[in-house]
Chains A and B, each alone.
Chain A
Amino acid sequence: MNLRDHDVVLRLENVTKKIGKQVIVDGLSFDVRKGEVVGLLGPNGAGKTTTIRMIVGLIGMTSGDVIIQGKSIRSSFAEAIAHVGAIVENPEFYSYMTGWDNLKQYQRMTAGITEERIKQVVDIVGLSEAMGKKVKSYSLGMRQRLGIAQALLHSPKILILDEPTNGLDPAGIREMRDYLKNIAQQEGIAVLVSSHLLSEMELMCSRVVVIQQGKFVREQLIGSAAPQNTMNDRHQLMIRVDNVQQAASVLSSFEQIELIQQNEAAKELLVSCTDEWLARLVQELSKGQIAVYRITEIKRSLEDEFLAWTGGNQIV
């Protein structure tokens, strides 16, 4: 049993959705814990939106269960969903009403939300000025923010967002990212976002769950949450020197250092080794009077890894 089990806010247990003979989501299981921003990542048509709709009970599941704060969405919907704030696809509102009237609608649907809370939430998303205007006149960015406001209104334990940055401009995307990180850290809310935008996920999430064709592919910690490198890990390094030939011959004397590629024109060597052996290599190179101009670690981006996981043929 995981030590952090008590922190689990959302748990998917073998969630499966079949429509006719077609399997849309196939035995999907993962957890989302308190204070974490988890990305649900997959190519178009992987079943992200279907999964999210099942989590919030908009569509039924064929088998499996979704547990939110210990309550099943299937057997105790009202109790489970009370902990959830969500935007499924685009945030939609009664466009003929003002922003304030729309939020009042959701206030009436949950006991104990004060007017102060509405004002507070509106303040968080920076919409105070626009509350008296009809939603019709809102820009997409404003609607998105109003969407966040309605999702936060009842102080949920988990925020579920389907493609939250869809249609936002770069400034809006950045703003959204900052909100989500803040919310997760300061209020200890768990956040689950779905997206097919890798770069987005890389900046926003601490962990991604990758799915393809409705199936779990893998789970990966990213950013600062990723496991720190240890001395014994092998890294790919690009070394630029003044004399590639000589450097290569020095290299060949080390069994533990793998020469992957040698580029005469650019005077570059691509090698793979551990930290310890890199230090020795540098020593040997300077002993041999070979000038080292640059040593750069080649990191695989999430995009590369993602393509590797999903077979690469379905560009997202």
Chain B
Amino acid sequence: MYSFYQLTVNEGLKLMKKRSFFIPFLIMLLASLVVALVVKKFFYDADFGITGYMEMLIGLQGGGSFYTLLCMICIASIVSIEFRLGTIKMLLIRSHSRSKILASKYVALLLYIAVLLIFTLIVGSIIGLLVLGLNGGLNVGDILEAAGYTLVYTWVYVTIVFMLSALTKSTGATIGIVFLLNFFEGIISMLLSRYDFAKYILFLNLDLQMYQEGSPVIEGMSLGFSIAVILVYMIAFLTLTFYVFKKRDVA
């Protein structure tokens, strides 16, 4: 267990030692400021208040999708960089199984998206309080719920990124493919939502917020159903990723 922790520390350091590491944090900080100013100027009333601001900053309909994009970009190189630098050879000839090494990368990735989200929540709250004051009251439950939906959505996407990064060994291809997916996700959902089988498509289940608003895309979908679909896809993606990474000849 200790050795796995050490591997994860290694992966964390590989992410952190890059000069670009702090850029996403900086961007989320700026986003908090901009959203705060926009809210203050246009929407500011007792109903909206600071809770509305936080939901706008972190919710999927607002800054949340932005947060997803940042995570995707930063994580895209997590496996492929080892191939690009050639360090994969150094990494795989240590006394650890390939699965363990890949798993440590996945854990580092999950920690990264969690840290960026928590950072945004904390910095967002502070800026919100400074710019807007405690108007309308801070509804922590609502904010965390919005953050939760964003986190699930982002988790699915970074897992896809992780898979592509390991399979394609190319950061560029990974970003390209996942951006395409992300871009066409809405259109695909819209076009296919008339068919019943579409409810088994991953992208139609990603936005769990729809159940809170009470309007699933297709009849017969429920929160539990969507969670199950997401889990099945994630397990399938990760199984494929680990299988290929384990079997692959590193030339």
Contacts and interface: CB of A to CB of B under 8 A. Distances in A.
Interface stretch (B33-41, B87-95, B123-131): B87-95
B7 A77 contact: no
Interface string B1-28: 0110011011001100111000000000
B17 A150 contact: no
Contact of B89 (A79, A81, A88, A96): A88
Contacts of B19: 96
A109 B14 contact: no
Nearest to A101: B17
Contact of A57 (B2, B10, B87, B93): B93
Contacts of B18: 96
Interface stretch (B64-72, B223-231, B243-251): B243-251
Interface string A254-297: 00000000000000000000000000000000000000000000
B86 interface: yes
Interface in A213-265: none
A89 B89 contact: yes
B61 interface: no
Contact of B96 (A58, A60, A78, A92): A78
Contacts of B10: 105, 108-109
A308 interface: no
Most A CB contacts (10 A, CB to CB) among B9, B92, B94 go to B94
Given A88-B93, A101-B13, A94 B87 contact: yes
Interface residues of B, number: 26
A106 B94 contact: yes
A82 interface: yes
Contact of A94 (B6, B7, B85, B95): B85
A56 interface: yes
A53 B86 CA distance: 14
Given A59-B249, A60-B247, A108 B7 contact: yes
Nearest to A59: B249
A237 to B, nearest CB: 49
Nearest to B94: A109
Interface residues of A, number: 31
Interface string B62-104: 0000000000000000000000011101101111110000000
Interface in B169-193: none
Contacts of A106: 90, 94
A70 to B, nearest CB: 15
Contact of B85 (A57, A92, A105): A92
Nearest to A82: B95
B191 to A, nearest CB: 41
A74 B91 CA distance: 17
B85 A58 contact: no
Nearest to B18: A96
Nearest to B17: A97
A81 B93 contact: yes
Contact of B93 (A56, A89, A101, A105): A56
A111 interface: yes
A58 B250 contact: yes
Contacts of B86: 89-90, 92
Contact of A108 (B6, B97, B251): B6
Contacts of A81: 93-95
Nearest to B20: A96
A60 B251 CA distance: 11
Nearest to A91: B90
Contact of A79 (B92, B95, B247): B95
A204 B251 CA distance: 27
A78 B96 CA distance: 5
A48 B10 CA distance: 31
A110 interface: yes
A130 B246 CA distance: 35
B17 A96 contact: yes
A90 B85 CA distance: 11
A96 B20 CA distance: 11
A108 B9 contact: yes
Interface in A100-135: 101, 105-106, 108-111
Most A CB contacts (10 A, CB to CB) among B87, B89, B90, B249 go to B90
Contact of B6 (A53, A77, A101, A109): A109
Pick the 4 closest A-B CB pairs, nearest first. A92-B86, A59-B249, A82-B95, A108-B6
Interface of B: 2-3, 6-7, 9-10, 13-14, 17-19, 85-87, 89-90, 92-97, 247, 249-251
7 contacts: A58-B93, A58-B249, A89-B86, A92-B90, A94-B17, A97-B17, A109-B10
Given A78-B95, A94-B85, A105-B14, 19 more contacts: A53-B251, A57-B92, A57-B93, A58-B93, A58-B249, A59-B249, A81-B94, A91-B90, A92-B85, A92-B86, A92-B89, A93-B90, A97-B14, A101-B13, A105-B10, A108-B7, A108-B9, A109-B6, A110-B94
